[in-house]
Chains A and B, each alone.
Chain A
Amino acid sequence: MLLDFDRLGWWKWMLVSITALVTLFLLLPIIFIAALSFGSSQWLIFPPPGWTLRWYEDLFADPRWLQSAWVSAKVAGAVTILSVVLGLLASLSLTRGRFRGREALRALFITPMILPVVVLAVALYAFFLRIGLSGTFVGFVLAHLVLALPFSIISISNALEGFDKSIEDAAILCGASPWEARLRVTLPAISHGLFAAAVFSFLVSWDEVVVAIFMASPTLQTLPVKIWTTLRQDLTPVIAAASTLLVLLTVGLMLLSLLVRKALKR
């Protein structure tokens, strides 16, 4: 009854209405910033009195925006590679290893994900000030790597748990060397997990604000830091333009992962 959509009577319409409203609520800010980024009103009046590309021109005319986006991309790229490699190795150990304290190790690997980021941000900031990594590229990568690793390990471990180890053994019996077997049999079989790990790692680093705010120096800042500092000054529509591009990037990544998932299924 309650779990049969067509037998809910008027409750069905109540539930559908709530869901539609919540969906609109979730969609509202995203549509809103996209519309404002093309609106001509400096004061962000909605609906906009006219349309313009001025904010995008402003955005691309300011080299600091492009610089920070470039820094973000470099940091996120490095984090993605390191996070997938370290995550794969750690996941192999966590899913196939037989040693004492394995569960404790798994818990430790997940902890950065569930702890309040501000604690890690403050702690790392203090630590990096001491060892001279604050405001450096390496510092950014290390900090984001700590945050991205749990996502990578969860994605890859899940994929590895779903992979039948005896297939790898069979490849070895067929004459493949252990590493050859892993490269040619296991890696392709868990490629969806590796892909998910890469996407999550990239997004974690690309969108990360809190640690970045503490770590940023005047000469090295990521895109979220640039947005943050601009936001604290005023609500310029240029941020709407930047945000819209970020939304587009998100949509692109979602479509890409959808396509990759479909391709990998075949």
Chain B
Amino acid sequence: MTAPFLQIRNIRKQYGDVVAVRDVELDIAKGEFMTFLGPSGSGKSTTLYILAGLQEPTSGDILLEGRTLLDTPSHKRNIGMVFQRYTLFPHLSVGENVAFPLRVRRKPKAEIDATVSRALKLVRLEGFADRMPAKMSGGQQQRVALARALAYDPPVLLMDEPLSALDKKLREEIQFEIKRIHQETGVTILYVTHDQEEALRLSDRIAVFSQGEIDQVGTGTELYAEPRTRFVAEFIGDSDFLKGRVERAGDGRADIRLGNGFMVSAVPTHGDAGPGRDVALMLRPERISLFRAEKPRSLAATVRDVTFLGNNTHVQAETETREQVAIRLPFGHESAAGLQSGNAVWLGFDPSSARAFC
């Protein structure tokens, strides 16, 4: 990775006693598509607003190419932003909206005209320049907002849940457009969303926010395969959790005894998992094998629900200690045939695919 292009240094935002953003630290490379993923109120939008200059941090610093941004007011930061709500200027036509950032920069008319048509072409809205925003669909409005934000070639583009007001189909369509525009322009994008699928589809890297902090940063694969906290494991993909206690620990791995005495050995752990500690054992539903006959080193359970979902079958099972486990079997898997509620089953898994969280 090249030298950090954009650095978020220990940013903290506090309202009285409430800490909205807690010492967030992040480096973003030039041209990277970085997503802030987290539930609402996790501080991801606040961090974005601080980057835009629409809010001031209580402490910390933001550096763009090594220079601080904090003493620059928002209108001089030269950063692009697309908002969650539709923020096209309702009294200006689409073309005038896109021209707005250039007009306030007092660019010559010829340049404005050329840039506007280039930006509208980029978002595939050529010929819409004279349309008024109110006469356009939500998806079109957000594409115009994107064109407006890119019209002045900002080094960084911020997007605050820009698609959350759109329906699923349209959302996917515009996600594809955003990805294409990212590739065509090479702009660095910081994207806020609470939708993990959207984050996985778009991003180079994802920063998972929880309660004002970044829990983990990584590519989608890293976050799914190696979640470092229970929160990340829960937020990215589906996961099962079983209660257990550490028997032996060392070298980042632990032997864990589950509720009914079942032992799982050498599970990779996160956090301070000393012997005697209660932990949550995380399993991914598709990494669990399901047997119809008793097998050694497997967990006895009873099927509670079977749902056929096309390419896979979702099985809800209950262990002897009344813990719920979801299992996903691919279509045509032999164990799925004739499976129904009440059947006794045995669950097996590779301990190295499990993770233990304190």
Contact = CB atoms under 8 A, between A and B. Distances in A.
Interface of A: 1, 7
Contacts of A1: 54, 74
Nearest to B74: A1
Interface size class of B (residues with CB under 8 A): under 10
A7 B54 CA distance: 8
Interface in B43-79: 54, 74
B76 to A, nearest CB: 13
Nearest to A9: B73
B53 to A, nearest CB: 10
Contacts of B74: 1
Query: What are the 3 tightest A-B residue pairs by CB atom distance, in nearest-first order?
Result: A1-B74, A1-B54, A7-B54
Interface in B8-51: none
A1 B77 CA distance: 15
B49 to A, nearest CB: 11
B183 to A, nearest CB: 33
3 contacts: A1-B54, A1-B74, A7-B54
B100 to A, nearest CB: 15
Contacts of B54: 1, 7
B256 to A, nearest CB: 51
B87 to A, nearest CB: 12
B51 to A, nearest CB: 16
Nearest to A4: B54
B93 to A, nearest CB: 22
A162 B54 CA distance: 38
A7 B74 CA distance: 11
B126 to A, nearest CB: 32
A63 B200 CA distance: 86
B118 to A, nearest CB: 28
A199 B162 CA distance: 48
A4 B54 CA distance: 10
A1 to B, nearest CB: 7
A1 B73 CA distance: 11
A177 B179 CA distance: 65
